[in-house]
Amino acid sequence: CITTTTWTTWNITPQNHTNRTWTHLRRQHILGGLQLQLQLHKAKAKAKAKAKAKAKANKYTSNTTTTTSRMNTKPPIIKQYSIWIKPKEPESEAYSNVITSLSKRFGTEPFEPHVTLLSLFEATEETAQEFAKELKDYASGFVEKTQDKSNKPPGEIRFETGKPTAGERFFQCVYMLCDKGTVLGDVHDAVKCMLERKEGVSLFLANATYMPHMSLVYGDLNKEQKEEAKAMALEKLREETKRLGRKDEDCILRKFEMDSWDIYLTPMEGNCTKNW
């Protein structure tokens, strides 16, 4: 009886132990699998969140860079320029004396004596400097063209009437009209074509037809003042001719020798020449 009971106990005990062990192991396997899946899910979620955060950071950096780049890129500064023909000395000083005397009498702004070859064009300072080099190359042949087409001295510009006249515009108030002839007119047309072909240049002409002249007064004078200014200008020009000891045929009322072609910064803001 004792033996049977012992054996029965032994026989039952291993079987129960084995079942319990198997159940325990199976339970651990299931739990382990669930834990593994949960860990994988967390890892994937973490990786996805990290990738999303990185993408967002890259997008912010890109936008910031683009915005900064746009902020640092300034639009080009466009300025207004004119091309002037300057007289040689001592004529330049003589004309300057006349202009200064008239400006004091009528309360207008003085300016450098010149004949405008072309007005007006807009461009950046860099483009204007580039064109200055092209203009210099073209101007080198001006003397040869003058000698070929006339018997006048090289670079000579003559006035049409030999006396001052008055206009209706601020920048054509009192002036001396030039004889554009073949050479001066041709040079104007050539320079105009050069500017029209130049990239980054906008061309604005003061007159539809070229009207070369030397201004003596810039201003808004009334009719009586213009008549007085014309008479005074004629008197002063004669005085300067006498001071230079010139004969009638060499009178500065009739002609002058060209010294240079210059590109001037001429912003047309409120009819003011102070920033020229």
The predicted model gives 63-68 an average pLDDT of: 50
Say what the pLDDT of residue 142 is.
Answer: 62
Residues 6+ apart with CB under 8 A from 163: 176, 230, 234, 253
Using one digit for the tens of pLDDT, what is the confidence trace for 10-33? 343 444 444 554 454 455 555 555
Using one digit for the tens of pLDDT, what is the confidence trace for 212-249? 999 999 999 999 999 999 999 999 999 999 999 987 76
Give yes or no for a contact between 229 and 166, defined as CB atoms under 8 angstroms apart.
yes
Distance CA 41, CA 46 (A): 8
Backbone angles phi, psi at 49, to 5 degrees: -65, -40
DSSP structural state of residue 252: T
Using one digit for the tens of pLDDT, what is the confidence trace for 127-148? 999 999 998 888 877 656 555 5
Its pTM surpasses 0.85: no
Distance CA 185, CA 85 (A): 13
